[in-house]
């Protein structure tokens, strides 16, 4: 089976990027991260890529139109012939042009059980604080395909974690992130194996 070529977009530390790279290197994903792109020149995600001899590029968004910025990113992804684009803490809203171009092969992770606690402003610690403020007994993470609706794309995998007495946004984030680091590579491998089939809003996981 052909190994898939993965491009990752990240704005920060890139711990989910690291989880995907590690899974590829352990043979748990039939593919390789071939390029990492950030809109932040000092993003640690770029360092992670370079440590693994993966091409790393920065396209700063300041002073550039959204269309031009995305055109640069798309050009880089196309140059590397990527099969799948993974968002790993990429804090830029993508335009319909980008989303439609990679429809069905653009994945994201969200640190809550969608459709709860998604949408505008729901990222990072904001999500976990919102979960705690609401009094939820469980939270978790969601891997989904990206569509034009923010955090509204078809769900690929979800994993729940308990909310514990005395949790802070930080302690809950840590518990969720541990599961994210396992779940995201699993979703990427299902894509690599051709086991994901969309049926309306549902993503079916095919048995082989």
Report, as residue numbers or ranges, the catalytic residues.
110
The bridge status of strand 155-162 relative to strand 138-145 is: antiparallel
CA of residue 171 relative to chain centroid, distance: 21
Which spans in 1-61 are helix H?
A: 15-25, 44-51
CA atoms within 13 A on the CB side of 60: 4
Contact indicator for 195, 205 with CB cutoff of 8 Å? yes
CA-wise closest residue to 102 among 84, 90, 75, 87 = 84
Contact indicator for 72, 97 with CB cutoff of 8 Å? no
């Amino acid at each position: 089976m052909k190994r898939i070529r993965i491009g990752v977009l990240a704005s920060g530390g890139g711990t989910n990027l690291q989880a995907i790279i590690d899974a590829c290197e352990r043979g748990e994903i039939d593919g390789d991260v071939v390029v990492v792109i950030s809109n932040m020149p000092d993003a640690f995600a770029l360092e992670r890529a370079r440590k693994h001899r993966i091409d790393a590029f920065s396209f700063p968004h300041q002073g550039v139109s959204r269309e031009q910025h995305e055109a640069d990113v798309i050009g880089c992804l196309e140059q590397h012939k990527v099969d799948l684009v993974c968002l790993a803490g990429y804090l830029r809203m993508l335009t319909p042009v980008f989303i439609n171009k990679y429809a069905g092969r653009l994945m994201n992770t969200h640190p809550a059980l969608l459709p709860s606690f998604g949408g505008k402003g729901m990222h990072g610690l904001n999500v976990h604080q919102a979960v705690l403020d609401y009094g939820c007994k469980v939270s978790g993470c969601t891997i989904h395909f990206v569509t034009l609706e923010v955090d509204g794309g078809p769900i690929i995998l979800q994993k729940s974690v308990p909310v514990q007495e005395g949790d802070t946004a930080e302690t809950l984030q840590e518990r969720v992130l541990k599961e994210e680091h396992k779940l995201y590579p699993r979703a990427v491998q299902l894509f690599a194996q051709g086991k994901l089939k969309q049926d309306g809003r549902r993503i079916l996981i095919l048995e082989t």
